[in-house]
Chain A
Amino acid sequence: MSKRSIVPFGPHHPVLPEPIHLDLVLEDEKVVEAVPSIGFIHRGLEKLVEKKDFNEYVYVAERICGICSFMHGMGYCEAVEHVMGVEIPPRAKYLRTIWCEMSRLHSHLMWLGLLADAFGFESLFMQSWRMREKILDMFEASTGGRVIFSVNKIGGEMKDMDGDMLKGFLKILNEIEKELRELSKTFLDNKAVNSRLQGVGFLTKQQAHDLGTVGPFMRASGIDRDTRNMGYAAYSDIDFETITSNAGDSYARTEVRIKELFQSIDIIRQAVEKIPSGEIAVPVKGFPDGEYFMRVEQPRGEAVYYVKGNGTKFLDRVRVRTPTFANLPGMLETLKGSQLADVPILILTIDPCISCTER
């Protein structure tokens, strides 16, 4: 008879960029159950909305997480704009789209690097992050920040990108696309890499639906849903197809994310081509009164921003349901029955962002 033992995993573990703790119940080397505990970096940012006025809170929302910073700011702004009935100018919508896709690029490239690091391919990690560095430089040139962008405000954007800057970015993106094509061969075709990813952490379509998973994690299990299709920002004018895979294993998740990288580059190209000229912000008067559930597609999946205003400058409630929070039950499911040595890879394939999760 096999012996049961409990192995604590985290909160500090070389593979984890952020603290999450898992109690792994093992039967020999096999995981039979995993119980998560979070709450190591809970900052109570949702409560802070009662102390900061709704304009100031944009800066707090951006600081929920350092990777999805732009989209947190934008999701909050769009939610408040919906409550107040503000229609932002078309140029601002396109700018948001471009920055959103740049965020996706840098987040997915970072994830590819972390994945390579998790299966011990250090130079692949360096290559991914070298490419990501170019995106961060693009962010710094256009917004003034590498991590926190502070360009969103309620009613539009604060900074504009002129034609020369956008053209320069397209040139850099062309280079990145070329390098990425080369790099994706290693992720998708290399024998050693494949043996770590294929057939590991299987999640069926039904499970993915029942467990409420979101984002590339869900799409790799064959569910065709991408919140961008709802048409926030300028996505309604842009032509793109949801990327899915039917395999449902770690390899499929890598494949979906790599294809999304190429898709993001394509979306930026379309947006730069179609971007209209004009104002980038409209003045906003009055205070939000009402509520709205705004959903945006972050690199990790669908995020929900719930805003409830009471007609004063302080909002009653802001709630952020982040993609990692929704993906945790799915991750626990994939852990069941896996080998202890695969646990780091399985945790990484949902692209966990714990700062987001705990807010």
Chain B
Amino acid sequence: MPENIIIPISPDSLLEEVLKMKNSECRLVQICSVRLEEGYELSYSFGKDYDLYNLRFTIGDDEEIPSITNIYPTAFLYENEIHDLFGVQIKMISVDYQGTLYRTDKKTPFK
């Protein structure tokens, strides 16, 4: 059975770790956010062949994280999604929808 590995990292080293993934020729599989009592738990999943590596870290409610769209341009959809649904603040997304990717009645419904 292929590997399904969770790698805990600190939020500050996100870009560094993502760059490592990029250099080892992984593809971006998904970005997932889980609402905790306070803050969010984020998983950035990368795939290589059939293995899945998940970078895992938690952030506070008001913490801002950098966008990885400079490294993986396709991340813009995932980042806008977690911004729109959870209210995770991400700076410098290459295509920033400013909260209009999901046109929900209520802002950040999953928060």
Contact = CB atoms under 8 A, between A and B. Distances in A.
Interface of A: 35, 37-40, 42, 44, 46-47, 209-212, 225, 227, 229-231, 292-293, 295, 304, 306, 308, 316-317, 319, 321, 325-326, 328-329, 358
B56 to A, nearest CB: 10
Interface in B51-92: 52, 54, 72-74, 76-77, 84
B101 interface: yes
B95 interface: yes
Contacts, number: 74
B99 to A, nearest CB: 10
Interface string B11-41: 0000000000000010111101011000000
A212 B103 contact: no
B102 A293 contact: no
B77 A227 contact: no
A208 to B, nearest CB: 9
B101 A321 contact: no
A229 B77 contact: no
Interface size, B (range): 20 to 34
Given A209-B27, A230-B2, A293-B45, A39 B101 contact: yes
A295 B100 CA distance: 29
B102 A39 contact: yes
A38 B102 contact: yes
B32 A306 contact: yes
7 smallest CB-CB distances across A and B, nearest first, come from A39-B102, A321-B30, A329-B74, A317-B34, A212-B27, A319-B32, A39-B103
A315 to B, nearest CB: 11
A308 B27 contact: no
B2 A304 contact: no
Nearest to A306: B32
A325 to B, nearest CB: 7
Contact of B32 (A39, A321, A328): A321
Given A42-B102, A42-B104, A230-B50, A211 B74 contact: yes
Contacts of B73: 211, 329
Contacts of B35: 317
